[in-house]
Amino acid sequence: MSTRERGDIPTARRVVVKVGSSSISGENAHKIRPLVDALAAAHGRGTEVVLVSSGAIATGMPFLLLDERPTDLATQQAAAAVGQNILIYRYQEALRPFRIVAGQVLLTAGDLENATHRENARRAMERLLGLRILPVVNENDTVATHEIRFGDNDRLAALVAQLIGADALVLLSDIECLYTRPPDEPGALPISNVAFDDDLHGFEFGSVVVNSVGTGGAATKVSAARLAAASGIGVLVTSADLVGEALAGDDIGTWFEPHPVPSRSPITGVVRTG
């Protein structure tokens, strides 16, 4: 069913949910369980759910005795290799009481740039969903490079939503909704709804930031939401702590209305910095 409004999310056929590193790693690792509870409730309603989860590097850091996110590529790759294994284990343990099996899907930017690889990825995910497996998607940080990568998992989530023809995309953040300027600044106002043709240039969304565990920011979510909405996918941006309410269709967060005439441009997932 088309998700023209946030209230349509509970009846959506297929939903992609993205969660960031800071929401499910370190001192917030315990939040994997309530996240999974909400995903399982949607799954139980018959919705096909795909989780795009950051956190491999952040999860691996303590096992490499690292206090902060490494800056060199080799150590990032090592942390990702260790952390991805542990992250999937944690998700599967949380899913076990619901008798839901997780399926790990690791993608590189090249996978979505190459038509053959893209079709292979789409076919695999379609089969997983058909088998009622819950795909857990992440960028393959172990083989990704600084020069060619998605840039952030908000963008990856939008591209995955396009790839599988999702009806809705939920981007989970650290705050309940987006604001007209950083919420700690005077005059910041919450944004409830963004029409597909709204001009957002007057708003001051925070630029991409790098913290001790991950990357992201309001600007990346706006960019990803616009990308998905242009393809006819409704997008909700809200707090990871409100994922249950989000998937239940409550009036929360910032809703990006889907374009009524979706674009048919090909998926391009690569961010080139070199």
| Closest to 159 in 3D by CA, of 174, 145, 175, 138 | 138
Q: Give the lowest-confidence range in 43-52, 121-130, 216-225.
A: 216-225
Q: Which amino acid is at 216?
A: G
Residue 271 confidence (pLDDT):
38
In angstroms, the CA 227 to CA 233 distance is: 9
Q: Tokens 């995309």 sit at which residue?
A: 169
Banded pLDDT at 146 (limits 50, 70, 90): low
Average pLDDT over the chain reads 87
- Binding-site residues from annotation: 18, 54, 141, 153, 173-174
pLDDT confidence band for 212 (50 / 70 / 90): very low
Q: Is 60 exceeded by the pLDDT of residue 109? A: yes
Query: 178-197: per-residue pLDDT in tens?
Result: 998 888 888 889 999 999 88
Percent of the residues in the chain that have a pLDDT greater than 90, as a whole number: 66
Which residues line the annotated binding site for substrate?
A: 54, 141, 153
**Annotated binding-site members for ATP:** 18, 173-174
Give the pLDDT band of residue 141 (cuts 50, 70, 90). confident
Query: What is the average pLDDT across 14-40?
Result: 95
Domains of the chain: 6-269 (3.40.1160.10)
Q: How far is CA 268 from CA 34, 158, 187, 229, 234, in A?
A: 33, 11, 37, 15, 19
**What is the model's pLDDT at position 31?**
96
| pLDDT at 111 > cutoff 90 | no
DSSP per-residue letters across 74-141: HHHHHHHHHHHHHHHHHHHHHHGGGT--EEEEEE-HHHHHSHHHHHHHHHHHHHHHHTT-EEEEEE-T
Report which listed range, 69-78, 120-129, 265-274, is most confident. 120-129
- Mean pLDDT, range 67-83, rounded to an integer: 91
Percentage above 70 pLDDT, the chain: 87
Give the pLDDT confidence of 11-20 residue by residue, as tens digits: 999 999 999 9
Q: In whole angstroms, how far apart are CA 246 and each of 77, 128, 205, 227?
A: 33, 24, 22, 20
Please state, in angstroms and as integers, the Cα–Cα distance from residue 265 to each residue in 132, 162, 163, 204, 230, following that order.
Answer: 29, 10, 12, 28, 10
For position 151, what pLDDT does the model report? 61
